[in-house]
Amino acid sequence: MAGLAVEVSRSVHGLLQLPQTTRFHLLCWGRGSCPVLHVSMKLLKPPAELRIVSRIGQTPMIVALIIVVLVLLAGLFFYTPWRLGNLLGVRRKWWLFAGVAVIIVVGASSTRLASKYDSAIIDLAYLTLTAMTGFLLYLFLGLILAELLLRFTGLAKRRAALMALLLAATISAYGVWNAYQFEVDDLEVKIEGLERPVTLAVLADLQLGGHRGRSWLEQTVAATNKAKPDVVLLPGDLIDGRSALNRETLAPLADLNAPAYFVTGNHDLEVGAKDLKGIIRKLGVIVLENDVVQLGGNLQLVGLEFMNPDEDTFELHPSASSTTIKSVLPTLPIAPDVPSILMHHSPVGRAYASQASIDLMVSGHTHGGGQVFPAPLIACRLVYTYCDGLNRFDAVQIYVSQGLGTFTLPMRVGTQNELGILRLVGR
Residues 6+ apart with CB under 8 A from 367: 17, 205, 402, 403, 406, 407, 415
- Give the pLDDT band of residue 58 (cuts 50, 70, 90): low
3-state DSSP assignment of residue 281: helix
- Give the pLDDT band of residue 85 (cuts 50, 70, 90): very high
Count the Cβ atoms, other than its own, within 10 Å of residue 73. Answer: 15
Residues 6+ apart with CB under 8 A from 98: none
Hey, which bits of 98-212 come out as E strands?
A: 183-191, 198-202
Quick one: pLDDT at residue 270? Answer: 93
Domains of the chain from N-terminus onward: 1-178 (no CATH), 183-426 (3.60.21.10)
pLDDT over threshold 60, residue 245: yes
**Bridge partners (DSSP) listed for residue 423:** 188, 199
Beta strands 340-343 and 360-363, pairing class: parallel
Hey, which bits of 228-355 come out as E strands?
A: 231-234, 260-262, 286-287, 291-294, 300-303, 340-343
Alpha helices in 334-413 (DSSP H): 350-355, 367-370, 375-382
Beta strands 360-363 and 396-400, pairing class: parallel
Could you give the CA distance from residue 399 to residue 210 in angstroms, rounded to a whole number?
Answer: 27
59 versus 103: which is more confidently predicted?
A: 103
pLDDT over threshold 70, residue 18: no
pLDDT over threshold 50, residue 325: yes
Q: Is 327 exposed, middle or buried (0-12, 13-18, 19+ CB in 10 A)?
A: middle
Residues 6+ apart with CB under 8 A from 185: 389, 401, 402, 418, 419, 420, 421
DSSP 8-state class, residue 208:
B
Q: What is the mean pLDDT of residues 344-371?
A: 94
**Residue 96: what are its φ and ψ, rounded to 5°?**
-70, -45
Q: What is the mean pLDDT of residues 28-49?
A: 31
Could you give the CA distance from residue 226 to residue 278 in angstroms, rounded to a whole number?
Answer: 27
3-state DSSP assignment of residue 398: strand
Q: How far is CA 386 from the centre of its chain?
A: 13
pLDDT over threshold 80, residue 24: no
Expressed in angstroms, the distance from the first to the final Cα of the chain is 45
- For 133-187, the pLDDT digits (tens) are 999 999 999 999 999 999 888 889 999 999 999 999 999 999 999 999 999 999 9
Residues 6+ apart with CB under 8 A from 336: 356, 357
Quick one: pLDDT at residue 59? Answer: 66
Q: How far is CA 254 from the centre of its chain?
A: 25
**Bridge partners (DSSP) listed for residue 379:** none
Share of the chain above pLDDT 90, in %: 74
DSSP 8-state class, residue 288:
P
CA-only gyration radius of the chain, Å: 22
Count the Cβ atoms, other than its own, within 10 Å of residue 111. Answer: 27
Omega prior to 235 cis, within 30 of 0? no
pLDDT over threshold 60, residue 231: yes
DSSP string computed for 147-180: HHHHHHS---HHHHHHHHHHHHHHHHHHHHHHTT
